[in-house]
């Protein structure tokens, strides 16, 4: 019954023109700044000009007196809402994140006051009249600063925002690495990147009384935004209508409403007037959450034949002051060697708080794993004298090796990087290129070829509660037309087109007769929208399942009305046919009119109407694989890189719309070109942003991006429909492909080591001319003449809690909540004390597990071995106070999570 409707034109796999394009090409799209409401006022922020300091006083009187200004609000005015921002995973971080700065500012651009005025011009005038008296302190700007400097967040134990991996070196791994026949070391300093959607952030809010809001916002998911606002303001989600019709790109920036948007919503409730805030580009480049600033030191040990023996990664990520979620980039470590045979791997990863804008998501947040691995493999190939393609073949996991579970617990069943590489090499004649390269070198021209492979986890749902399910609500209306309300959301993804293709094919109706709605949170149900390359898999799967429910109902109704066997009923181009009985036919419209309007004609007991809903849970993870090749020419006189060719061989499963797939790949690769050659959101030693316009923050133009060529492998996935995600891949595999091509071109001169991005012409000339030309970048290296290290001392470590003399009551049932970085996990445990011995049983979704531990006063400690998502020992360290319990759980490589709990009355 679930097979596509035979005889209907197939829409899946076709380059359908997009349903979105007509309105966008004619100026009739609706972006947040296109919304105007009666009585609407405009918001501008007064922001900190210093990276770090205490606010002594704020004088808003001059701003308030400016004609046209309605209000000037500071943190004090918003205090009644008691807002503390939470992460994308809806977890509270250990630091407080207020919408407006309270007593301290933590980065240049930290919002201190908001001005509400008649128009935007007046609001900005008034913002300039807010006078703040600061007691300035030396900022912590770089990762190096964070290591040695004063605490960014007073009261925290250190500047470490998040940590994973092993703190202490593994002696066996160290011995293996140091004694290996070939040990390759590779260091990368990655600049900060501004996601740079062409539409900045923005919000329009209209409060209706105390418990209802309408919010227009540029976001990645109206559903997610509504859920987030509901939690921030304690209003039922049903009372919050989030509308986001067209969004001008996001790339991770708009994954959740953040400080400014939340402040505007709070102010809208406070003033009971519609408010609008549209971020300007200066704010966007200097004060919104940015991404990627990181350092990595990678070691790989090889035997003489080029087989990998082991590897270790030391990794640091600048989290800024207020990250969207404290992050040590565990995903990068998990997937670093997932597609390779890797006998021994260890890592230490840390995220650091600094006095810079917070860390935000950016397309493929874990992309450093591909950049570091693939560039290091090419260095190794040169060192070992093995062809880089051959080196990859010797270490990649192939189809024949699967299924298997990697040492880090990742289940691989159908990854195809080696097969993508084979397909790539059918398009790229490597021997011919090597001959051309040699001839060019003889003429003093430097050509280079970079070839890379990768796998990408898409539509990950396991263990991440906000990403676990998506919903499709389908309705064949009484007219016979189909409307679909989905929890997908497009910021350029074209899901109004691709989801309609899936639904039309599945239902057996014309593409033009399916309209997809995903712009209004009040229409549908929760789903996370765009995030983690998930929409084809999660939204497509939900659409298929809901369509199949409808097809089933249509068949049963048609069989009843026409006197046929449901198995013989077909829907073709919006008409009902019965196999072998040509006279038995009716239109979908006639059937729908009966289904809604004449329920007495339906089979006995059947619910009226033609509506179906399905909430789909995709597989835990769906892998996409790819291999890319890039050919460049580097001008040895100017250091300028010309990209001559770029070939993308990728396997994103069944393609719904190849034009959309190629658009996603191309956009990602173009962003990769920007990352490698152009873009840098840097800071000076005082934490001042130094690229705050597009004259300083250089984005790729049409002249920087070549024509891309594509090869599609299309191995169906195990998800419904066989789809795989494709949104982020180009931005992940693109950077190492281009770096490898440049490094290959420059190999006669030496290695690009350490690799420091972006590879500006000056940096490339350093390799060619073997002398420093660019100077160290201010954000990544200490400089002479810098202020002395910050003088604010570390806060003293919290006193070690001594076990109290009287033992509290331990025995009984406890409800516990573990705040993991991926979301809250709830479970219960029955505890029993026997002298200093603790016994217990933990009951969770995964089942029941017994444990024993120790008791010292009110301190309880126990270990629990789990097998999912990977073999791991969880170390519980808990204090009981009366009927409450608090503590920490060390989760091996996953870092430490906070545990809270309370006694369940029995």
Partner 1 sequence: MSQHNIQVTVNGRLHTATVEGRLTLSDFLRVEAGYTGVHIGCEHGVCGACTVIVDGQAVRSCLMLAVQADGSSITTVEGLTAPDGTLHPVQQALRDEHALQCGFCTPGVVMTLAALTSGASKPAARTLLDALSGHVCRCTGYQGIRRAAIKLAGEPGAKK
Q: Shortest approach of partner 1 to residue 659 CB, angstroms?
A: 4
> Which residue from 614, 522, 613 is spatially nearest to 236, judged by alpha carbons?
522
Over the window 719 to 748, marking each residue x when it contacts partner 1 by CB under 8 A and - when it does not, the resulting string is: -----------x------------------
Q: Is 797 in the site for partner 1 (CB under 8 A)?
A: no
The answer to whether 247 and 218 are in contact (CB under 8 A) is yes
Count of residues interacting with partner 1 (CB under 8 A): 57
When binding is defined by CB under 8 A, the residue of 4, 5, 11, 20 that contacts partner 1 is 20
The answer to whether 334 and 410 are in contact (CB under 8 A) is yes
The answer to whether 223 and 521 are in contact (CB under 8 A) is yes
Nearer to partner 1, 15 or 54 (CB): 15
Nearer to partner 1, 378 or 662 (CB): 662
Q: Shortest approach of partner 1 to residue 778 CB, angstroms?
A: 23
The answer to whether 642 and 635 are in contact (CB under 8 A) is yes
Nearer to partner 1, 251 or 446 (CB): 251
Nearer to partner 1, 79 or 701 (CB): 701
The answer to whether 885 and 879 are in contact (CB under 8 A) is yes
For residue 812, what is the enclosing H or E element?
strand 812-820
Nearer to partner 1, 31 or 749 (CB): 31
Query: Strand order of the sheet with strand 294-302?
Result: 160-165, 345-353, 308-320, 294-302, 182-190, 755-756
Nearer to partner 1, 481 or 493 (CB): 493
When binding is defined by CB under 8 A, the residue of 98, 494, 508, 541 that contacts partner 1 is 494
Query: Strand order of the sheet with strand 470-476?
Result: 514-517, 482-486, 470-476, 611-616
> Which residue from 794, 792, 754, 756 is spatially nearest to 777, judged by alpha carbons?
756
* Interface region with partner 1, contact rule CB under 8 A, candidates 518-526, 692-700, 715-723, 775-783: 692-700
* Interface region with partner 1, contact rule CB under 8 A, candidates 142-150, 245-253, 626-634, 868-876: 245-253
CA distances (Å), origin 640, targets 63, 203, 811 = 49, 41, 71
* Interface region with partner 1, contact rule CB under 8 A, candidates 12-20, 72-80, 629-637, 853-861: 12-20
Nearer to partner 1, 668 or 853 (CB): 668
Both tokens assigned to 862: 């126990």
List CB contacts of 8: < 8 A, sequence separation 6 or more: 504, 505, 508, 509, 571, 572, 573
Coil/strand/helix, residue 586: strand
User: Between helices 761-769 and 729-746, what is the axis angle to 10°?
Assistant: 30
* Interface region with partner 1, contact rule CB under 8 A, candidates 255-263, 337-345, 614-622, 694-702: 694-702
When binding is defined by CB under 8 A, the residue of 197, 450, 457, 736 that contacts partner 1 is 197
Q: Shortest approach of partner 1 to residue 662 CB, angstroms?
A: 7
Coil/strand/helix, residue 109: coil
Q: Shortest approach of partner 1 to residue 700 CB, angstroms?
A: 8
Q: Is 491 in the site for partner 1 (CB under 8 A)?
A: yes
When binding is defined by CB under 8 A, the residue of 77, 650, 662, 766 that contacts partner 1 is 662
Distance CA 837, CA 904 (A): 22
Distance CA 317, CA 97 (A): 19
Both tokens assigned to 650: 């990728």
List CB contacts of 209: < 8 A, sequence separation 6 or more: none
Q: Is 493 in the site for partner 1 (CB under 8 A)?
A: yes
Nearer to partner 1, 37 or 705 (CB): 705
Beta strand 41-47 with 275-278 is parallel
List CB contacts of 480: < 8 A, sequence separation 6 or more: 509, 513, 574, 587, 588, 589, 590, 591, 592
When binding is defined by CB under 8 A, the residue of 707, 799, 805, 845 that contacts partner 1 is 707
Q: Is 666 in the site for partner 1 (CB under 8 A)?
A: yes
Q: Shortest approach of partner 1 to residue 705 CB, angstroms?
A: 5
* Interface region with partner 1, contact rule CB under 8 A, candidates 207-215, 248-256, 557-565, 753-761: 248-256
Over the window 23 to 62, marking each residue x when it contacts partner 1 by CB under 8 A and - when it does not, the resulting string is: -xxxxxx-x-xx-x--------------------------
How deeply is 131 buried, as exposed, middle or buried, from its count of CB atoms within 10 A (0-12, 13-18, 19+)? middle
When binding is defined by CB under 8 A, the residue of 18, 47, 52, 241 that contacts partner 1 is 18
When binding is defined by CB under 8 A, the residue of 248, 320, 618, 736 that contacts partner 1 is 248
Q: Shortest approach of partner 1 to residue 26 CB, angstroms?
A: 5
Q: Using the Cα atoms of residue 724, residue 468, residue 540 and residue 531 in order, give the sign of their dihedral.
A: negative
* Residue 453: CB atoms within 10 Å: 31
The answer to whether 840 and 828 are in contact (CB under 8 A) is no
* Interface region with partner 1, contact rule CB under 8 A, candidates 228-236, 378-386, 703-711, 837-845: 703-711
When binding is defined by CB under 8 A, the residue of 1, 3, 432, 702 that contacts partner 1 is 702
The answer to whether 654 and 759 are in contact (CB under 8 A) is no
Nearer to partner 1, 196 or 760 (CB): 196
Contacts to partner 1 from residues 262-301, by CB under 8 A = 280-281
Q: Shortest approach of partner 1 to residue 754 CB, angstroms?
A: 28
Binding site residues, partner 1, CB under 8 A: 15, 17-18, 20-22, 24-29, 31, 33-34, 36, 120-121, 196-200, 246-249, 251, 280-281, 490-494, 659-660, 662-663, 666-671, 693-695, 699-703, 705, 707-708, 730
């Amino acid at each position: 019954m679930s097979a596509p409707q035979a005889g209907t034109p197939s829409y899946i796999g076709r380059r359908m023109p997009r349903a979105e394009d007509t309105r966008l090409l004619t100026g009739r799209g609706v972006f947040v700044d296109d919304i105007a409401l009666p009585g609407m006022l405009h918001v501008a922020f007064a922001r900190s000009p210093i990276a770090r300091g205490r606010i002594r006083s704020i004088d808003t009187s001059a701003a308030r007196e400016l004609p046209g200004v309605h209000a000037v609000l500071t943190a004090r005015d918003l205090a009644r809402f008691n807002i503390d921002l939470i992460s994308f995973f809806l977890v509270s971080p250990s630091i407080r994140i207020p919408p407006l700065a309270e007593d301290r500012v933590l980065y240049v651009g930290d919002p201190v006051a908001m001005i509400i005025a008649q128009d935007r011009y007046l609001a900005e005038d008034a913002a300039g009249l807010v006078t703040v008296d600061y007691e300035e302190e030396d900022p912590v700007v770089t990762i190096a600063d964070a290591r040695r400097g004063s605490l960014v967040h007073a009261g925290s134990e250190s500047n470490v925002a998040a940590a994973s991996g092993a703190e202490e070196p593994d002696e066996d791994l160290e011995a293996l690495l140091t004694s290996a026949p070939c040990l390759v070391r590779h260091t990368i300093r990655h600049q900060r990147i501004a996601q740079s959607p062409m539409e900045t952030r923005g919000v329009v809010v209209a409060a209706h009384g105390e418990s209802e809001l309408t919010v227009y916002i540029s976001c990645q998911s109206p559903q997610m935004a509504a859920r987030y606002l509901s939690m921030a303001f304690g209003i039922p989600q049903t009372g919050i209508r989030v509308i986001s019709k067209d969004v001008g790109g996001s790339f991770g920036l708009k994954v959740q409403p953040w400080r400014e948007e939340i402040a505007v919503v709070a102010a809208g409730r406070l003033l009971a007037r519609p408010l609008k805030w549209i971020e300007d580009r200066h704010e966007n480049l200097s004060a919104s959450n940015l991404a990627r600033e990181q350092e990595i030191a990678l070691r790989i040990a090889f035997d003489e034949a080029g087989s990998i023996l082991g590897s270790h990664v030391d990794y640091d990520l600048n989290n800024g002051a207020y990250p969207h979620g404290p992050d040590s980039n565990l995903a990068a470590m998990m997937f670093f060697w997932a597609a390779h045979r890797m006998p021994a791997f260890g890592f230490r990863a840390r995220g650091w708080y600094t006095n810079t804008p917070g860390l935000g998501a950016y397309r493929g947040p874990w992309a450093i794993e591909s950049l570091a691995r693939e560039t290091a493999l090419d260095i190794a190939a040169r060192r070992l004298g093995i062809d880089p393609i051959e080196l990859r073949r010797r270490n990649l996991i192939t189809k024949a090796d699967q299924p298997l579970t990697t040492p880090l617990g990742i289940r691989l069943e159908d990854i195809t990087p080696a097969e993508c590489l084979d397909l790539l090499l059918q398009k790229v004649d490597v021997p011919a290129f090597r001959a051309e390269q040699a001839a060019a070198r003889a003429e003093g021209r430097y050509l280079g070829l970079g070839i890379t492979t990768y796998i990408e986890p898409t539509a990950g749902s396991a263990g991440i509660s906000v990403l676990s399910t998506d919903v499709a609500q389908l309705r064949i209306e009484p007219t016979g037309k189909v409307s679909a309300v989905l929890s997908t959301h497009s910021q350029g993804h074209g899901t109004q087109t691709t989801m309609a293709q899936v639904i039309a094919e599945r239902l057996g109706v014309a593409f033009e007769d399916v309209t997809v709605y995903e712009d209004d949170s009040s229409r549908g149900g929760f789903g996370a929208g765009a995030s983690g390359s998930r929409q084809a898999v999660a939204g497509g799967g939900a659409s298929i399942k809901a369509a199949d429910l409808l097809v089933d109902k249509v068949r049963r109704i048609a069989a009843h009305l026409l006197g046929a066997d449901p198995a013989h009923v077909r829907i073709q181009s919006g008409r009902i046919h019965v196999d072998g009985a040509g006279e038995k036919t009716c239109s979908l419209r006639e059937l729908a009119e009966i289904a809604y309007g004449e329920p007495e004609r339906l089979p006995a007991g059947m619910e009226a109407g033609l509506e179906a809903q399905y909430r789909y849970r995709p597989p835990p993870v769906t892998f996409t694989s790819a291999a890319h090749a890039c050919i460049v020419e580097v001008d040895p006189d100017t250091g300028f890189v010309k990209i001559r060719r770029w070939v993308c061989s990728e396997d994103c499963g069944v393609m719904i719309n190849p034009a959309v797939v190629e658009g996603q790949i191309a956009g990602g690769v173009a962003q990769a070109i920007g990352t490698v050659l152009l873009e840098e959101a840097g800071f000076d030693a005082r934490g001042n942003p130094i690229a705050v316009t597009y004259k300083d923050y250089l984005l790729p133009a049409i002249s920087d991006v070549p024509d891309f060529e594509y090869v599609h492998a299309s191995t169906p996935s195990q998800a419904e429909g066989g789809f795989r995600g494709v949104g982020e891949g180009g931005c992940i595999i693109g950077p190492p492909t281009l770096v490898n091509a440049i490094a290959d071109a420059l190999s006669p001169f030496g290695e690009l080591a350490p690799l420091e991005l972006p590879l500006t012409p000056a940096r490339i000339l350093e390799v060619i001319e073997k002398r420093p030309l660019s100077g160290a970048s201010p954000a990544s290296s200490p400089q002479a003449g810098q202020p002395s290290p910050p003088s604010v001392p570390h806060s003293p470590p919290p006193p070690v809690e001594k076990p109290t003399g009287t033992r509290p009551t331990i025995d009984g049932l406890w409800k516990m909540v573990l705040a993991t970085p991926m979301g809250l996990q709830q479970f219960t445990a029955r505890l029993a004390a026997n002298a200093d011995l603790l016994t217990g049983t933990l009951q969770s979704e995964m089942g029941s597990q017994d444990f024993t531990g120790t008791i010292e006063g009110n301190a309880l400690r126990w270990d629990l071995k789990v097998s999912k998502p990977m073999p791991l020992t969880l170390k519980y360290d808990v204090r009981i106070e009366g009927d409450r319990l608090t503590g920490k759980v060390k989760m091996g490589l996953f870092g430490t999570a906070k545990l809270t709990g309370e006694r369940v009355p029995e």
